Amino acid sequence: MKFTNGFWMVKDDFTADYVRDIYCVEEEEDSVKIYAPYGKIRGRGDTLNMGQMTFAVTAPMEGVLGIHMYNHLGSCSGKPAFALQCCTGKKPEIRSGRQADHTPGSWALSSGPVSMIFEEGSPEIRFLGEGKLLTRIAPKTMGMMHKDTGENYIVCGLNLSVGELVYGLGERFTPMVKNGQSIDIWNEDGGTASEISYKNIPFYYTTGGYGVFINHPGKVSLEVGSEKVETVQFSVEDEEMEFFLIYGPSPKEIIQKYTAMTGRPALPPRWSFGLWLTTSFTTDYDESTVNHFIDGFAERKIPLQVFHFDCFWMKGFEWCSFIWDKEMFPDPEGMLQRLHEKGLKVCVWINPYIAQKSVLFREGMEHGYLVKKPDGKVWQWDLWQAGMGLVDFTNPDACSWYQSKLRSLLQMGVDAFKTDFGERIPVDVSWYDGADPVKMHNYYTLLYNKAVYEVLKQEKGEGEAVLFARSATAGGQQFPVHWGGDSTSQYISMAETLRGGLSLMDSGFGFWSHDIGGFEDDGSADLYKRWVAFGLLSSHSRLHGSSSYRVPWNYDEEACDVLRFFTKLKESLMPYIWELSQEACDTGIPVLRPMHMVFPGDPNCAYLEQQYMLGDRLLVSPVFSEDGVQKFYLPEGKWIHLLTKEPAQGGRWHEGRYDYFSLPLYVREGDELCGITIPGVEQ
Residues with catalytic function = 420, 423, 486
Type of residue numbered 251: P
Helix, strand, coil percentages for the chain (3-state, nearest 5): 25, 25, 50
Type of residue numbered 545: G
Task: Confirm if 669 and 640 have CB atoms less than 8 A apart.
Answer: yes
Query: Alpha-carbon distance 320 to 357, whole Å?
Result: 9
CB neighbour burial string for 467-483, b if at least 16 within 10 angstroms, e if fewer: bbbbbbbbbbbbbbbbb
Task: Confirm if 393 and 431 have CB atoms less than 8 A apart.
Answer: no
Q: Which of 412, 402, 392, 461 is nearest to 309 (CA)?
A: 412
CA dihedral for 551, 555, 558, 562, sign (positive or negative): negative
Q: Which of 405, 360, 367, 416 is nearest to 385 (CA)?
A: 360
Q: What angle separates helix 437-460 from helix 396-412, to the nearest 10 degrees?
A: 40
Query: Alpha-carbon distance 470 to 197, whole Å?
Result: 10
Q: Which of 369, 480, 485 is nearest to 423 (CA)?
A: 485
Q: What angle separates helix 287-299 from helix 332-341, to the nearest 10 degrees?
A: 10
Q: 70: helix, coil or strand?
A: strand
Query: Alpha-carbon distance 376 to 430, whole Å?
Result: 8
Residue 106 pairs in a beta bridge with 119
Torsion angle of alpha carbons 116, 119, 124, 130, nearest 10°?
-30
Query: Alpha-carbon distance 660 to 532, whole Å?
Result: 9
| CA 47 and chain centroid, separation | 44
Task: Indicate the pairing of strand 220-224 with strand 231-236.
Answer: antiparallel
Query: Alpha-carbon distance 537 to 572, whole Å?
Result: 12
Number of neighbouring beta carbons within 10 Å of residue 38: 18
Report cis status (omega within 30 of 0) of the bond before 481.
Answer: yes
